[in-house]
Structure 1
Amino acid sequence: MLRTRPAAVAGLFYPDDPGQLAAEIDRYLDQAPAPAPASVPPCALIVPHAGVPYSGPVAASAYRLLRPWAEQIHSVVILGPSHHLAFQGLALPDCEAFETPLGRIEIDQALAASLQQQDVIALAPNEAAHRLEHCLEVQLPFLQRLLKRFRLLPLLVGEASSDAIAEVLARLPPPPGCLLLISTDLSHYHPYEEAQRIDADTSQRILALRPGLVGQQACGCRGLNGLLTLARRQGLSIEQLDLRNSGDTAGSRDRVVGYGAYLLH
């Protein structure tokens, strides 16, 4: 039996019934704007990580782009912020698989081992950091509904420089075989119109590939800054796919959370 991290937020951030969860994810994907035909696969996606009724419609605008490449993506690397535990570097899972109500996904142990050979940043298993973390888990049902067969490398980001993270990301296999996801929400708990202004400014910084974002702009700023640093070095292009907040999707407009979805190619 594989040592498996069970779902921590099923029934909280997304339905714990497999049929209901699959139907909800499929509905968001089907309702997302149809993308223009792409001749090249995504290098990376930036996606939000709130409860699926809140951020799911925004995330789906990015995930829908994966449909033409579903059979070619064999490994998915996700970077997201640690909400529960502070540490240095990047945290690997201390298990062999992650589980959601839609099934089990094996950890890409070979890719993890290859990244551990780098010496620019601490990269070690940290079961405590992963145990209750939602920012990686909420991405998995989308991937399970879209991809044919893939392995997962979920990485939580602790205290780390943008340059060091960029160095790690530069060592990943190229697309379409490997897909990189950065999991982050934008501003938190501002009134609706104020959040719109803050998130519009943050989005312009993202589109200009300007690292230096802080937690008040994007909770996953460290992983995001690492990706933006790498994108500048490699001359990648970036496209905004969606920019909304919880007041647009499923919540009150008194105190909202911002969500953005972006494509790098």
Structure 2
Amino acid sequence: MRPASEKTSVRPAAVAGFFYPADPQELRSEVARYLDSASSDSLRTPQGTPKALIVPHAGYIYSGRVAAAAYAAIAARRDTIRRVVLLGPSHRVYLHGVAVPRSDSFATPLGEIPVDAERRHKLIASGEVMSADAPHAQEHSLEVQLPFLQMLLGDFELLPLVAGTAEPAHVAAVLDAAWGDEETLVLISSDLSHYHTYDLARRIDGDTSEAILQKQITLTGEQACGAVCINGLLHLARHRPLDVSEILRMNSGDTAGDRQRVVGYGAFAIHEPASLS
């Protein structure tokens, strides 16, 4: 337990009011609506309850439907999950490797989520990650996931990680060290292709989806902004071994916006092979 005299630091919400509502009541209502509607989507249900998810991170009006589909896949684990390892790409700060923040908690309009200090310390001590607040300060790829987690789960701790340039084996080693047991959920935050026409995006994202399902570890930033993170997860999935399933795939032309410049979104589950689950 932290001494009462010790000061704590909070990473405040940076994109509330932009990517998602800043008003707590409106935010709760919007997230609940997406989660409720996920059951009506034509989803590919994973074989077994997922240990890890790949989830998009755009504004909720664009990617909320696909994100909710991913979270619906872990509804059965809501009373079990006590820790979330969340890894996304560093969009704003150049970074070589993987960074964990010094902040003690992350805030959204729905409250604060404590950072898993014990696992953070172990990762830093291992030399696999660096400690730095700057890559996290304005990063939206992690933040937009938090209200969904707050609505879906009970009390939980967060291990927030952002990746810059890094080899799949390095990212896999970080994830493996934080993998934990059934109380730990691993989330990779990534969108798919960016700013193509609707039909071209569907073709590109279809190829990317097939690569993910085949656990290829050569995805590029043109295919997914979180390619470094996904490649690391897939590298680990090869070695554990784990299966990958697609849950839902769309783009902004399906949800909001025109079809001349769309962004792709995909929800994927990583789970034990069907014969073992």
- In the alignment, the residues of structure 2 paired with residue 248 and residue 36 of structure 1 have an alpha-carbon distance, to the nearest angstrom, of 18
Question: Is residue 2:95 matched to residue 1:100?
Answer: no
Alignment partner of 1:135: what SS? helix
Change in Cα spacing, 1:148 to 1:197, as seen in structure 2 (3 Å) is same
Residue correspondence of structure 1 range 82-231 to structure 2 within 5 A = 82-119=90-127, 121=128, 123-231=129-237
For 2:265, the equivalent position in structure 1 comes to 259
- In the alignment, the residues of structure 1 paired with residue 60 and residue 90 of structure 2 have an alpha-carbon distance, to the nearest angstrom, of 19
Change in Cα spacing, 1:38 to 1:72, as seen in structure 2 (3 Å) is farther
Report the CA distance between 1:172 and its aligned residue. 2.0
Deviations 1:50-88 (A, max 9, x none): 001110100100101222111211110111000111121
Change in Cα spacing, 1:190 to 1:37, as seen in structure 2 (3 Å) is closer
- In the alignment, the residues of structure 2 paired with residue 73 and residue 89 of structure 1 have an alpha-carbon distance, to the nearest angstrom, of 27
- In the alignment, the residues of structure 1 paired with residue 49 and residue 125 of structure 2 have an alpha-carbon distance, to the nearest angstrom, of 27
For 1:43, the equivalent position in structure 2 comes to 51
Q: Which runs of 5+ in 1 are unaligned?
A: none
Change in Cα spacing, 1:134 to 1:38, as seen in structure 2 (3 Å) is closer
Is 1:189–1:256's contact at 8 Å kept on the other side of the alignment? yes
Deviations 1:167-219 (A, max 9, x none): 12111243421100000000000000000000000000000011100000000
> Which amino acid is the alignment partner of residue 75 of structure 2?
R
Report the CA distance between 1:37 and its aligned residue. 8.5
Report the CA distance between 1:33 and its aligned residue. 3.0
TM-score normalised to the size of structure 1? Answer: 0.95
Choose 152-161 or 34-43, whichever is displaced more.
34-43
Change in Cα spacing, 1:144 to 1:129, as seen in structure 2 (3 Å) is same
Alignment partner of 1:185: what SS? coil
Is 1:41–1:175's contact at 8 Å kept on the other side of the alignment? no
Change in Cα spacing, 1:175 to 1:27, as seen in structure 2 (3 Å) is farther
Q: Which runs of 5+ in 2 are unaligned?
A: 1-6, 272-277
Alignment partner of 1:136: what SS? helix
Is 1:84–1:129's contact at 8 Å kept on the other side of the alignment? yes
Alignment partner of 2:53: what SS? strand
Report the CA distance between 1:101 and its aligned residue. 0.3
Figure out how many residues of one structure are paired with residues of the other and give that number. 263
Report the CA distance between 1:165 and its aligned residue. 0.9
Aligned with residue 83 of structure 2, among 58, 68, 75: 75
Deviations 1:118-157 (A, max 9, x none): 24x3x12221111111000000000000001100011000
Aligned with residue 61 of structure 2, among 42, 47, 53: 53
Is 1:41–1:176's contact at 8 Å kept on the other side of the alignment? no
- In the alignment, the residues of structure 2 paired with residue 105 and residue 150 of structure 1 have an alpha-carbon distance, to the nearest angstrom, of 7
Is 1:80–1:223's contact at 8 Å kept on the other side of the alignment? yes
Report the CA distance between 1:115 and its aligned residue. 1.6
TM-score normalised to the size of structure 2? Answer: 0.91
Report the CA distance between 1:39 and its aligned residue. 8.6
Choose 82-91 or 3-12, whichever is displaced more.
82-91
- In the alignment, the residues of structure 2 paired with residue 96 and residue 20 of structure 1 have an alpha-carbon distance, to the nearest angstrom, of 26
Is 1:73–1:175's contact at 8 Å kept on the other side of the alignment? no
For 2:8, the equivalent position in structure 1 comes to 2
